[in-house]
Chains A and B, each alone.
Chain A
């Protein structure tokens, strides 16, 4: 009997001891609380236990709050979540805007260079070209003629050995040059302008010399038309004096020059080009002008054909450039605000 009581006491004691903490917090059921209170009333150990636990819990609850060393907020992302998808928008727009500006600049500059004027309407541009001043046209033709003559002469090399004859010779010079393409000459009197061979680079050629057809066998001038590679070998001009009234002189495109009243000092020439003095009046226009008129007319026609396309390209590029510029500006402003 005493063993069971002791055992029951131990059991009750243990039962109460395990529930003192919960008893302090009011976490026991009514039955449990009653059992604990009944035991504690008769157990000094549980009374001490309960009292010291109560004091410990009270002191622990009175522990002060400690100040924080810093704030523990999390870093805020610099860019919005959707930013990576549009990361390349602004740079692409900026590059496209620059490209459009460059294209517009080149188109306008090209147009400016070709016409010499600011780009305006297509019809006005074509009319202006047609109404080009006569002096400009004639100057262009003159320059082009000179270029043609010089170009053709550069392929011809002639070395002339001339011996002046004091004898009076028939006015009509019978000069026959062996050329692959003899051309008719309208003027009966022709003089052959003789110049130094191209080898004499930079040297001032001799003044114009006039001579008439030579009958003397001592005079032998051979003209040979050939490639520029043959220039160093020189050329000879063969002249045959006609027994009969001299036929119409045969002149070459490159060598026949307009007779001048007075010897005119020739300007210094490039090594490959003999001196030329061209007058728009006497130069066979059909010879000199024909080769260039066609290209001039072709360029005019070609320009008129491209003219409307230039205007359209400029208008389109200008519109694209303005659109890209505005879009780029808006995107850049929006991105800066998002930051």
Chain B
């Protein structure tokens, strides 16, 4: 059954058809939630809440990009998590989950173990840089650079104008770059940004 047929059945209340859609989009949804929230448990809660809300609201789906529609619900769930937990970014290395980044990264057979470790250090630094962004910039950066959405898709997901998407993305990227510059001495040499001089 193709995606359109699954969507049609899910709109009629078919939970089994909706769960087929969940299997197609849950990885994307969880990764977005994880990068926004920086915590695996909070990300799991937000993802589950998002799919439950999506199933209840299936009748309101009028067509178009189901991916954008799901991501909108996921980002809203992340905003709810941020408001409820009032999470604050931390610079502590202990709070960063390293294991998840290891799993997929090990699948690269060309990378050497030392390169693997150094890359992990970079990833952790970038993740921390994302988490110190204000929520409105964080969501845009994650949707664009982590998930690969276009400006138009980000505008559909967030409901923001293209101009607002551009400006927030620009500011967010700059702040992450500045964070990497602040941490460059802790990063391996290959992952140090060139000094402005």
* A47–chain B nearest beta-carbon distance, Å: 10
A65, A72, A75: the one within 8 Å of B31 (CB): A65
Determine the interface band of chain B, counting residues with CB < 8 A from chain A.
35 or more
Residues of B within 8 A of A233 (CB): none
For the residues of B in contact with A, the DSSP-based class is helix
The answer to whether B126 and A48 have CB atoms under 8 Å apart is no
Known: A21-B169, A48-B196, A81-B13. A56 touches B26 (CB 8 A): no
Chain A CB within 8 A of B100 CB: yes
- With contacts A21-B170, A48-B197, A60-B141 known, is A75 near B15, CB below 8 A? yes
Instruction: Kindly count the residue-residue contacts between A and B in the assembled complex, taking CB atoms under 8 Å apart.
Output: 117
Query: With a CB–CB cut-off of 8 A, which chain B residues contact A21?
Result: 166, 169-170, 173-174
Cβ contacts A60-73/B at 8 Å (1 or 0 each):
11011111111111
The answer on a CB contact under 8 Å between B23 and A74 is no
Does any Cβ of A come within 8 Å of B95's Cβ?
A: no
Complex interface residues of chain B between 163 and 196 (CB less than 8 A to chain A): 166-167, 169-170, 173-174, 176-177, 180-181, 191, 193-194, 196
**Is there an interface contact between B123 and A74, defined as CB atoms closer than 8 Å?**
no
Find A64's partner among B101, B173, B197 (CB 8 Å cutoff).
B101
B194 touches A51 (CB 8 A): yes
List the B side residues contacting A18 at CB < 8 Å.
Answer: 167, 170
Given the interface contacts A21-B166, A75-B15, A77-B15, does A63 sit within 8 Å of B123 by beta carbon? yes
Contacts A45-B196, A71-B23, A72-B29 given; indicate if A61 touches B15 (C-beta within 8 A): no
Query: A-contacting residues of B (Cβ < 8 Å)?
Result: 13, 15-16, 18-19, 22-23, 26-27, 29-31, 34-35, 40, 44, 47-48, 51-52, 55, 97, 100-101, 103-105, 122-123, 126-127, 130, 141, 144-146, 148, 151, 166-167, 169-170, 173-174, 176-177, 180-181, 191, 193-194, 196-197
Shortest beta-carbon contacts, A-B, top 8? A66-B100, A21-B170, A73-B19, A64-B104, A60-B145, A56-B177, A76-B15, A72-B26
5 A-B pairs with C-beta separation under 8 A: A59-B126, A60-B126, A64-B100, A66-B101, A68-B26
**What is the interface of chain A, defined by CB distance below 8 A to chain B?**
18-22, 25, 27, 44-45, 48, 51-53, 55-57, 59-61, 63-77, 81
